[in-house]
Amino acid sequence: MAFAPAGNASSPPPGEGVVHARLTGVSRFFDLPSGAKLHALGPIDLDIKRGEFFGVVGPSGCGKSTLLDVLAGLISPTDGEVWFEDKRVTDVPDGVGVVFQEDAAFPWLTVRDNVAFGLRRAGFDAAETKRRVDYAVGFMGLNDFAGTYPAQLSGGMRQRVCIARTLVLQPRLILLDEPFGALDQQTRLLMGDELLRLWRETNATVLLITHALDEAAMLSDRVGVMSARPGTFIDFVETKWPRERDSRIVSDPRFGGITARLWEKLRVESLKIMGTQAGHK
Protein backbone atom coordinates (compact mmCIF):
# COMPACT_ATOMS: atom_id res chain seq x y z
CA MET A 1 0.00 0.00 0.00
CA ALA A 2 1.22 3.49 -0.74
CA PHE A 3 0.06 7.09 -0.89
CA ALA A 4 -0.41 6.99 -4.65
CA PRO A 5 -2.26 4.07 -6.22
CA ALA A 6 0.00 3.79 -9.28
CA GLY A 7 3.64 4.31 -10.01
CA ASN A 8 6.82 2.37 -9.57
CA ALA A 9 8.87 3.86 -6.77
CA SER A 10 12.19 3.68 -8.56
CA SER A 11 11.21 4.91 -12.02
CA PRO A 12 10.68 8.56 -12.80
CA PRO A 13 7.04 9.66 -12.74
CA PRO A 14 5.06 9.98 -15.96
CA GLY A 15 5.29 13.37 -17.57
CA GLU A 16 8.64 14.14 -16.02
CA GLY A 17 10.33 17.11 -17.57
CA VAL A 18 7.05 18.92 -18.26
CA VAL A 19 6.67 22.26 -16.50
CA HIS A 20 4.42 21.79 -13.46
CA ALA A 21 4.56 25.23 -11.86
CA ARG A 22 5.77 28.45 -13.46
CA LEU A 23 6.46 31.94 -12.19
CA THR A 24 6.97 34.69 -14.76
CA GLY A 25 8.17 38.13 -13.72
CA VAL A 26 6.81 37.67 -10.20
CA SER A 27 7.43 40.49 -7.74
CA ARG A 28 5.86 41.20 -4.41
CA PHE A 29 5.78 44.47 -2.50
CA PHE A 30 4.39 44.98 0.99
CA ASP A 31 2.93 48.19 2.37
CA LEU A 32 4.72 49.26 5.51
CA PRO A 33 2.89 51.05 8.34
CA SER A 34 4.99 54.14 7.53
CA GLY A 35 3.38 54.26 4.09
CA ALA A 36 6.56 53.15 2.32
CA LYS A 37 6.66 50.04 0.12
CA LEU A 38 8.91 47.10 0.92
CA HIS A 39 10.21 45.22 -2.09
CA ALA A 40 10.23 41.69 -0.66
CA LEU A 41 10.57 39.48 -3.70
CA GLY A 42 11.46 39.36 -7.37
CA PRO A 43 11.40 39.73 -10.20
CA ILE A 44 11.45 35.94 -10.39
CA ASP A 45 11.19 33.66 -13.41
CA LEU A 46 11.08 30.02 -12.43
CA ASP A 47 9.98 26.73 -13.95
CA ILE A 48 9.54 23.73 -11.66
CA LYS A 49 9.23 20.48 -13.57
CA ARG A 50 6.77 17.74 -12.82
CA GLY A 51 8.25 15.30 -10.32
CA GLU A 52 11.19 17.57 -9.55
CA PHE A 53 12.55 17.99 -6.03
CA PHE A 54 13.43 21.66 -5.98
CA GLY A 55 15.27 23.13 -3.00
CA VAL A 56 15.42 26.82 -2.13
CA VAL A 57 18.14 28.35 0.02
CA GLY A 58 18.68 32.00 0.76
CA PRO A 59 19.73 34.38 3.51
CA SER A 60 17.19 35.05 6.24
CA GLY A 61 14.53 37.59 5.32
CA CYS A 62 15.12 37.19 1.56
CA GLY A 63 11.51 36.38 0.76
CA LYS A 64 11.60 32.58 0.74
CA SER A 65 8.32 32.27 2.64
CA THR A 66 6.78 34.98 0.45
CA LEU A 67 7.75 32.91 -2.59
CA LEU A 68 5.96 29.93 -1.06
CA ASP A 69 2.86 32.00 -0.23
CA VAL A 70 2.72 33.31 -3.80
CA LEU A 71 3.13 29.85 -5.29
CA ALA A 72 0.45 28.42 -2.98
CA GLY A 73 -1.97 31.18 -3.96
CA LEU A 74 -2.11 32.46 -0.36
CA ILE A 75 -1.03 35.92 -1.49
CA SER A 76 -1.11 37.36 -5.00
CA PRO A 77 2.02 38.77 -6.62
CA THR A 78 2.18 42.52 -7.11
CA ASP A 79 3.55 41.94 -10.63
CA GLY A 80 3.84 38.86 -12.82
CA GLU A 81 1.94 35.61 -13.09
CA VAL A 82 1.90 32.26 -11.31
CA TRP A 83 0.84 29.13 -13.16
CA PHE A 84 0.17 25.63 -11.87
CA GLU A 85 -0.78 22.78 -14.21
CA ASP A 86 -1.52 25.19 -17.05
CA LYS A 87 -3.92 27.25 -14.93
CA ARG A 88 -3.30 30.74 -13.67
CA VAL A 89 -3.06 30.75 -9.86
CA THR A 90 -5.40 33.31 -8.30
CA ASP A 91 -6.38 31.43 -5.14
CA VAL A 92 -5.14 28.23 -3.49
CA PRO A 93 -5.28 25.70 -6.36
CA ASP A 94 -6.51 22.14 -6.07
CA GLY A 95 -3.67 19.63 -5.69
CA VAL A 96 -1.32 21.80 -3.63
CA GLY A 97 -0.27 20.81 -0.11
CA VAL A 98 1.69 23.05 2.25
CA VAL A 99 3.68 22.25 5.39
CA PHE A 100 4.35 25.48 7.26
CA GLN A 101 7.33 26.42 9.36
CA GLU A 102 5.13 27.05 12.40
CA ASP A 103 3.30 24.36 14.31
CA ALA A 104 -0.02 24.06 12.49
CA ALA A 105 -1.40 20.92 14.16
CA PHE A 106 -4.94 21.45 15.44
CA PRO A 107 -4.59 21.22 19.25
CA TRP A 108 -8.24 20.21 19.73
CA LEU A 109 -7.96 17.10 17.56
CA THR A 110 -6.10 13.85 18.18
CA VAL A 111 -3.25 12.89 15.88
CA ARG A 112 -5.60 10.62 13.92
CA ASP A 113 -8.28 13.27 13.56
CA ASN A 114 -5.68 15.83 12.55
CA VAL A 115 -4.46 13.57 9.77
CA ALA A 116 -8.02 12.72 8.70
CA PHE A 117 -9.15 16.38 8.70
CA GLY A 118 -8.59 17.14 5.01
CA LEU A 119 -9.95 13.78 3.86
CA ARG A 120 -13.19 14.29 5.75
CA ARG A 121 -13.51 17.81 4.36
CA ALA A 122 -12.96 16.49 0.85
CA GLY A 123 -15.76 13.96 1.38
CA PHE A 124 -13.80 10.71 1.29
CA ASP A 125 -15.74 7.72 2.64
CA ALA A 126 -14.85 6.24 6.02
CA ALA A 127 -13.04 3.20 4.61
CA GLU A 128 -10.78 5.19 2.29
CA THR A 129 -10.14 7.77 5.00
CA LYS A 130 -9.15 5.03 7.43
CA ARG A 131 -6.88 3.35 4.86
CA ARG A 132 -5.02 6.54 4.04
CA VAL A 133 -4.80 7.75 7.64
CA ASP A 134 -3.50 4.37 8.83
CA TYR A 135 -0.84 4.44 6.16
CA ALA A 136 0.25 8.04 6.77
CA VAL A 137 0.30 7.63 10.55
CA GLY A 138 2.45 4.50 10.19
CA PHE A 139 4.67 6.08 7.57
CA MET A 140 5.42 9.03 9.84
CA GLY A 141 6.10 6.76 12.84
CA LEU A 142 3.09 8.03 14.77
CA ASN A 143 1.34 4.70 15.42
CA ASP A 144 1.88 4.86 19.18
CA PHE A 145 0.51 8.40 19.33
CA ALA A 146 -2.56 8.11 17.09
CA GLY A 147 -4.95 8.81 19.98
CA THR A 148 -2.98 11.57 21.70
CA TYR A 149 -3.38 15.32 21.39
CA PRO A 150 -0.64 17.52 19.90
CA ALA A 151 0.03 19.16 23.28
CA GLN A 152 1.40 15.83 24.48
CA LEU A 153 3.87 15.57 21.58
CA SER A 154 7.29 17.13 20.96
CA GLY A 155 7.72 19.83 18.32
CA GLY A 156 9.21 17.35 15.87
CA MET A 157 6.32 14.94 16.34
CA ARG A 158 3.81 17.72 15.75
CA GLN A 159 5.57 18.63 12.54
CA ARG A 160 5.24 15.00 11.47
CA VAL A 161 1.52 15.23 12.13
CA CYS A 162 1.37 18.26 9.82
CA ILE A 163 3.35 16.44 7.14
CA ALA A 164 1.08 13.38 7.41
CA ARG A 165 -1.99 15.61 7.28
CA THR A 166 -0.73 17.17 4.06
CA LEU A 167 0.30 13.87 2.45
CA VAL A 168 -2.95 11.95 2.88
CA LEU A 169 -4.55 14.25 0.34
CA GLN A 170 -1.92 13.17 -2.21
CA PRO A 171 -1.06 16.66 -3.36
CA ARG A 172 0.62 16.88 -6.75
CA LEU A 173 2.71 19.83 -5.58
CA ILE A 174 4.05 19.79 -2.02
CA LEU A 175 5.42 23.04 -0.61
CA LEU A 176 7.50 22.75 2.55
CA ASP A 177 8.68 25.82 4.47
CA GLU A 178 11.61 24.80 6.68
CA PRO A 179 9.62 21.85 7.97
CA PHE A 180 12.54 20.42 9.96
CA GLY A 181 13.64 23.71 11.47
CA ALA A 182 12.69 22.64 14.98
CA LEU A 183 14.45 19.28 14.82
CA ASP A 184 17.90 18.13 15.88
CA GLN A 185 20.46 17.17 13.23
CA GLN A 186 20.00 13.39 13.41
CA THR A 187 16.23 13.63 13.23
CA ARG A 188 16.53 16.06 10.33
CA LEU A 189 18.56 13.58 8.32
CA LEU A 190 16.14 10.74 9.03
CA MET A 191 13.11 12.91 8.28
CA GLY A 192 14.86 13.88 5.05
CA ASP A 193 15.08 10.21 4.14
CA GLU A 194 11.39 9.81 4.82
CA LEU A 195 10.64 12.83 2.70
CA LEU A 196 12.64 11.33 -0.19
CA ARG A 197 10.83 8.01 0.19
CA LEU A 198 7.55 9.83 0.14
CA TRP A 199 8.51 11.89 -2.90
CA ARG A 200 9.38 8.72 -4.81
CA GLU A 201 6.16 7.00 -3.76
CA THR A 202 3.82 9.84 -4.58
CA ASN A 203 5.53 11.14 -7.74
CA ALA A 204 4.74 14.58 -6.41
CA THR A 205 6.61 17.74 -7.28
CA VAL A 206 8.33 19.16 -4.20
CA LEU A 207 9.50 22.64 -3.33
CA LEU A 208 11.50 22.67 -0.10
CA ILE A 209 12.59 25.87 1.58
CA THR A 210 15.44 25.40 4.02
CA HIS A 211 18.25 27.32 5.64
CA ALA A 212 20.39 24.15 5.92
CA LEU A 213 22.69 23.86 2.92
CA ASP A 214 23.40 20.16 3.52
CA GLU A 215 19.69 19.46 3.63
CA ALA A 216 19.14 21.24 0.32
CA ALA A 217 22.14 19.50 -1.28
CA MET A 218 21.09 16.05 -0.06
CA LEU A 219 17.40 16.17 -0.89
CA SER A 220 17.09 18.24 -4.06
CA ASP A 221 17.43 17.51 -7.75
CA ARG A 222 18.07 21.21 -8.19
CA VAL A 223 18.76 23.95 -5.67
CA GLY A 224 17.88 27.59 -6.28
CA VAL A 225 20.00 30.11 -4.38
CA MET A 226 18.25 33.36 -3.56
CA SER A 227 19.78 36.78 -3.12
CA ALA A 228 19.29 39.08 -0.16
CA ARG A 229 16.04 41.08 -0.23
CA PRO A 230 14.46 41.63 -2.68
CA GLY A 231 14.90 37.90 -3.25
CA THR A 232 15.74 36.74 -6.76
CA PHE A 233 17.43 33.56 -7.94
CA ILE A 234 21.15 34.12 -8.45
CA ASP A 235 22.15 30.51 -9.10
CA PHE A 236 20.68 27.10 -9.82
CA VAL A 237 22.70 24.05 -8.85
CA GLU A 238 21.82 20.68 -10.44
CA THR A 239 22.78 17.89 -8.05
CA LYS A 240 22.28 15.01 -10.55
CA TRP A 241 21.60 12.57 -7.72
CA PRO A 242 19.85 9.31 -8.65
CA ARG A 243 16.13 9.26 -7.82
CA GLU A 244 16.80 6.39 -5.43
CA ARG A 245 18.86 8.13 -2.73
CA ASP A 246 19.04 8.75 0.99
CA SER A 247 21.06 10.59 3.62
CA ARG A 248 24.08 8.36 3.01
CA ILE A 249 24.94 10.49 -0.03
CA VAL A 250 26.45 13.01 2.38
CA SER A 251 29.58 10.86 2.16
CA ASP A 252 29.58 11.06 -1.66
CA PRO A 253 32.64 13.02 -2.86
CA ARG A 254 30.40 15.30 -4.94
CA PHE A 255 28.33 16.27 -1.90
CA GLY A 256 31.04 18.54 -0.52
CA GLY A 257 31.38 20.24 -3.88
CA ILE A 258 27.68 21.00 -4.06
CA THR A 259 27.45 22.46 -0.55
CA ALA A 260 30.65 24.43 -1.19
CA ARG A 261 29.13 26.00 -4.31
CA LEU A 262 25.91 26.81 -2.45
CA TRP A 263 27.83 28.40 0.39
CA GLU A 264 30.05 30.38 -1.96
CA LYS A 265 26.98 32.08 -3.42
CA LEU A 266 25.11 32.37 -0.17
CA ARG A 267 28.04 33.74 1.78
CA VAL A 268 28.15 36.90 -0.31
CA GLU A 269 24.40 37.43 0.17
CA SER A 270 24.51 36.74 3.88
CA LEU A 271 27.36 39.21 4.28
CA LYS A 272 25.24 41.86 2.55
CA ILE A 273 22.53 41.35 5.15
CA MET A 274 24.98 41.45 8.02
CA GLY A 275 26.47 44.59 6.48
CA THR A 276 23.12 46.38 6.36
CA GLN A 277 22.33 45.28 9.91
CA ALA A 278 25.71 46.59 11.06
CA GLY A 279 24.96 49.80 9.18
CA HIS A 280 21.74 50.25 11.16
CA LYS A 281 23.54 50.13 14.49
Q: Examine residue 56 and tell whether it contacts another protein (CB under 8 A).
A: no
User: According to CB under 8 A, which one of 121, 240, 280, 281 is a site residue for another protein?
Assistant: 121
Q: Examine residue 179 and tell whether it contacts another protein (CB under 8 A).
A: no
Q: Examine residue 231 and tell whether it contacts another protein (CB under 8 A).
A: no
Residues 246/230, Cβ–Cβ less than 8 Å? no
CB of 91 to another protein, least distance (A): 8
Q: Examine residue 140 and tell whether it contacts another protein (CB under 8 A).
A: no
Residues 112/126, Cβ–Cβ less than 8 Å? no
What are the distances in angstroms from CA 67 to CA 31, 35, 72, 137, 230? Answer: 17, 23, 9, 29, 11
Spell out the alpha helix ranges (H) of the chain.
64-71, 111-121, 126-139, 155-167, 185-202, 213-219, 253-280
Amino acid letter, 74: L
**Segment near another protein (CB under 8 A); pick from 20-28, 117-125, 131-139, 228-236:** 117-125
Q: Examine residue 88 and tell whether it contacts another protein (CB under 8 A).
A: no
- Cα separation of 227 and 234, whole Å? 6
**Segment near another protein (CB under 8 A); pick from 2-10, 101-109, 191-199, 240-248:** 101-109
User: According to CB under 8 A, which one of 45, 79, 94, 264 is a site residue for another protein?
Assistant: 94
Find the helix or strand (DSSP H, E) in which 37 lies: strand 37-49
Binding site for another protein (CB under 8 A): 72, 74, 91-92, 94, 96-98, 100, 102-104, 106-109, 117-118, 121, 149-151
